[in-house]
Every structure is written in C-alpha cells, then in structure tokens.
Structure 1
Amino acid sequence: MPAHSSFDYAIIRVVPRVEREEFINVGVVLFCTTQRFLGARVEVDEARLKALAPDIDLETVRCHLDSFQRVCVGGKGSGPIGQLPQKERWHWLVAPRSTMLQTGPVHSGLSQEPQAALEHLLDTVVRLKRAS
C-alpha cells in the first residue's frame, strides 16, 4: 500500500462583483510535491452563477477557468506561467488577487492518491448535494 503524501489545495471561486464579496465555489487546485502532482478540476453550476450575477458572461468565465488547468499541465500552450517549475506555478495559482476569479486560503491534507483527493474535494466543496 502506498504511503500517504501531504498535499495543499485551494478552492477556486467566481466572484462576479468583487466589491460585494459574494462568490460561488467552482473548482479546486491541488499540489502534492512528493508525487509531483499539480492539478485543477472545475465545474461551473451555471444556474447558481446566473442567480448570483444574471449578467455574467459565462463564456469569459470558462475561458479564464481553463487557464487554471492549462497552467497546472504546463508545457507548450500554457503561456509564460505554464513554463515555470511546478512549485512556482502552484504559488502563482494561489496568489491573492482581486479579480473575478480567486482562490481561497490554502489548506493541507493527506492522501495516497492526489487525483482521488482532488475529486473528493470537488464533491465536498463545489458540487451541491441534491435532495432526491
């Protein structure tokens, strides 16, 4: 059985009007140094986002959210930030910013499989549990 590795993660938020400080969680970015893993998963609940900001441009939001995933993957097509070492990309992704897309505070955890932890976090903090 593989050993548990520590990881850090942050929630990706859409903040349609920064001055109102209202947001919707739309994704998670996770970094595990020991397993050389940097990944992001994004799911936008369009109905919830439109309820908060009826005039939001969903296509623009999606385009900017895609950049999180491109930077995580790195390499060609990921822009100058995507060319940085993995740890520097992580720090850039979670750096505080005052824009429509923000990351929350960085938290830590333990997991044997970072991809599974990423999916679990998406389930826990992004997806709504719907009553049957």
Structure 2
Amino acid sequence: MHMHDSYDYAVIRVVPRVEREEFVNVGILLSCQSARYLEARIEIDGARVHALDPDIDLVAVRRHLDSFPAICRGGPGSGPIGELPLRARFHWLTAKRSAIIQTSPVHTGRCVDMAATMEHLLDRMVRVRRA
C-alpha cells in the first residue's frame, strides 16, 4: 500500500491591474519533495481576464505563463532557474512579487496520486463551472 505524500501547492494568478488587486486564477503549481514531483498546469480563460482589463495583451501574458511549466520541467529552454533543484524552483516560482503574474500563498496537503490531486486542484481553484 502506498503511503500518503505531503505536497505543497500555490494557485497561479493573473492580476491585470496590480493596483486594483483583482485577479483570475489561471493555474496550479504543485510540488512533492518525496515524490520528486514539480508541475505547473495553466488553463487561462481569456474572457475572464479581459473582464478585468479589456486592453490586456493576452499573448504576452500566455508567453510569461508558459515559463512556469518550462521551469518545472527543467532542462534545455528552462533558463537558469530551471537548472536549480526542484524545491528551489518551487520557492522561486512562489516568491512574493507585485507583477501581473502572481501566486497565492503556499498551501499543504497529503495525497497518494499527484496527477489526480492536480486535476482536483484545477477543478476546485481554476476551472469555472458553466451553467
């Protein structure tokens, strides 16, 4: 029987107008040191972001958001941060910043299946149920 692993996660947010502190959740950053797991999944809803700022450059935002999964994967094309150990990458990605892309505070949980946990967090924190 597989034991539960402790994990940390943060919600990735787009904050179109930082001074207003309004945001749209667009992804999850999930880390489990014991499983050597680090993944970011992005699911941006352009209409929701445009509702906060109709003039936002979504192409540029998507390009910046793409750096999260690249850094998590590491290797070629991930830049110097992608060469750091997994835990250091997680801490770098969740560092407090006042930019258009931010993360929530880090939260902790326990699970058996990281992929299922990622889907659960995306369903709960990012995806919007449509009527």
Question: TM-score normalized by structure 1?
Answer: 0.97
CA distance in structure 2 between the partners assigned to 1:40 and 1:115 by the alignment: 11
Aligned-CA RMSD value: 0.7
Task: Report the equivalent of 1:59.
Answer: 59
Give the alignment of 1:106-117 within 5 angstroms. Answer: 106-117=106-117
Conservation of the 8 A alpha-carbon contact between 1:6 and 1:111: yes
Structure 1 unpaired stretches of 5+: none
Which residue of structure 2 aligns with residue 119 of structure 1?
Answer: 119
Q: How many residues align?
A: 131
Aligned-partner residue type, residue 83 of structure 2: Q
Residue 13 of structure 1 contacts residue 101 of structure 1 at CA under 8 Å; is this kept in 2? yes
Letter in 2 for 1:111: C
Unaligned runs of 5+ in 2: none
TM-score of the two chains, using structure 2 as the length reference: 0.98
- 2:72 corresponds to 1:72: yes
The runs of 4+ residues in structure 1 deviating greater than 6 Å are: none
User: Within 2, Cα distance between the matches of 1:103 and 1:115?
Assistant: 20
Residue 116 (structure 1) shift: 1.4
Q: Distance in 1 between matches of 2:84 and 2:115?
A: 21
Following superposition, the deviation at residue 81 of structure 1 comes to 0.3
Aligned to 1:39: 39
How far residue 2 of structure 1 moved from its aligned partner, in angstroms, is 1.4
Identical columns (%): 60
For residues 58-80 of structure 1, the C-alpha deviation after alignment (integer angstroms, 9 at most, x for no partner) is 10010000000000000111000
Three-state SS of the structure 1 residue aligned to 2:102 is strand
Structure 1 contact 94–103 (Cα < 8 Å) conserved = yes
Q: Give the Cα separation in 2 of the matches to 1:108 and 1:32.
A: 10
